[in-house]
């Protein structure tokens, strides 16, 4: 019988907790050991988990392992997606690629740079909004700093339209198909970028998990 509390990476077995035959009782320090090792595999030997980021990591882990009690404690709705916000270079993209690795049995989402969605719209028009607004789970990276959309002389707030479509999909699938995103912008800046209607839908689509404003740029 498979033991979902154990993961093998590079010939090394990592324990994430204890499996009682029905469910995994996760151990956060053990999860951190695995994530640190997996991060080095994915992003290189310079990758490390910072003490200051552990609260963000903890919330993300509770969300992805579907720990209902701790999700409730931190005000996280497991049916919604994640909007991970924080300063440039704080590690948002890396974490959204890394954390789902602790639950390999769960359906994966595709990481898409938000600018690529706009580039696609500028090339093929409104079909791009249909493509990204339907059926698959996505994580839109760097939401809010993508260039303007323009197709045959007509301007379009592309990601705003995609998010409205994702909201309709979220309702239609009874909240089963989720949308995730990372952003450098705060709530006011997102509203300025996409408008009040989209911002309102974002509240229903996303759990906001935020790094501290003074989190340093790890790429420097």
Considering the domain boundaries, does residue 148 fall inside one? yes
Given a cut of 80, whether residue 135 has pLDDT beyond it is no
d(Cα 215, Cα 164) in Å, to the nearest integer? 31
pLDDT, the chain, mean: 94
d(Cα 41, Cα 24) in Å, to the nearest integer? 24
Considering the domain boundaries, does residue 3 fall inside one? no
- CATH number of residue 185's parent domain: 3.40.50.300
Considering the domain boundaries, does residue 125 fall inside one? yes
d(Cα 86, Cα 107) in Å, to the nearest integer? 26
Average pLDDT estimate for 87-95? 94
Would you say 149 and 118 are in contact if contact means Cβ atoms under 8 Å apart? Answer: yes
**pLDDT of res. 134:** 81
Whether the full predicted model's pTM is greater than 0.85, yes or no, is yes
Helix (H) or strand (E) holding 204: helix 196-205
**pLDDT of res. 213:** 84
Considering the domain boundaries, does residue 21 fall inside one? no
Considering the domain boundaries, does residue 130 fall inside one? yes
Considering the domain boundaries, does residue 175 fall inside one? yes
Query: Burial level of 46, CB count in 10 A (0-12/13-18/19+)?
Result: exposed
Q: Which domain holds residue 123?
A: 79-210
Nearest of 158, 178, 169, 64 to residue 113 by alpha carbon: 158
Q: How many domains does the chain have?
A: 1
Considering the domain boundaries, does residue 144 fall inside one? yes
Considering the domain boundaries, does residue 20 fall inside one? no
Query: Burial level of 174, CB count in 10 A (0-12/13-18/19+)?
Result: exposed
- Tens digits of per-residue pLDDT, 136-170? 899 999 999 999 999 988 899 999 999 999 999 99
Average pLDDT estimate for 212-219? 81
């Amino acid at each position: 019988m498979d033991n979902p509390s154990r993961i093998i990476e590079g010939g090394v077995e990592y324990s994430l907790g204890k499996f009682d035959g029905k469910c995994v009782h996760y151990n956060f320090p053990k999860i951190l050991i695995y994530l640190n090792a997996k991060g080095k595999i994915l992003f290189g030997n310079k990758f490390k988990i910072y003490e200051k980021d552990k609260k963000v990591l903890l919330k993300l882990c509770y969300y992805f392992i579907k720990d209902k009690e701790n999700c409730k404690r931190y005000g996280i709705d497991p049916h919604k997606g994640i909007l991970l916000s924080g300063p440039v270079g704080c590690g948002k993209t890396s974490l959204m690629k890394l954390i789902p690795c602790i639950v390999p049995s769960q359906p994966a989402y595709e990481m898409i740079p938000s600018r690529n969605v706009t580039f696609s719209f500028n090339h093929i028009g409104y079909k791009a909004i249909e493509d990204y607004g339907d059926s698959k789970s996505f994580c839109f990276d760097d939401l809010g700093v993508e260039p303007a959309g323009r197709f045959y002389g007509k301007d379009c707030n592309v990601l705003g339209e995609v998010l409205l479509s994702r909201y309709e999909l979220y309702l239609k699938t009874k909240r089963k198909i989720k949308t995730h995103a990372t952003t450098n912008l705060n709530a006011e800046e997102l509203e300025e970028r996409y408008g009040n209607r989209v911002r309102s839908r974002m509240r229903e689509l996303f759990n906001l998990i935020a790094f501290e404003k003074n989190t340093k740029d790890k790429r420097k």
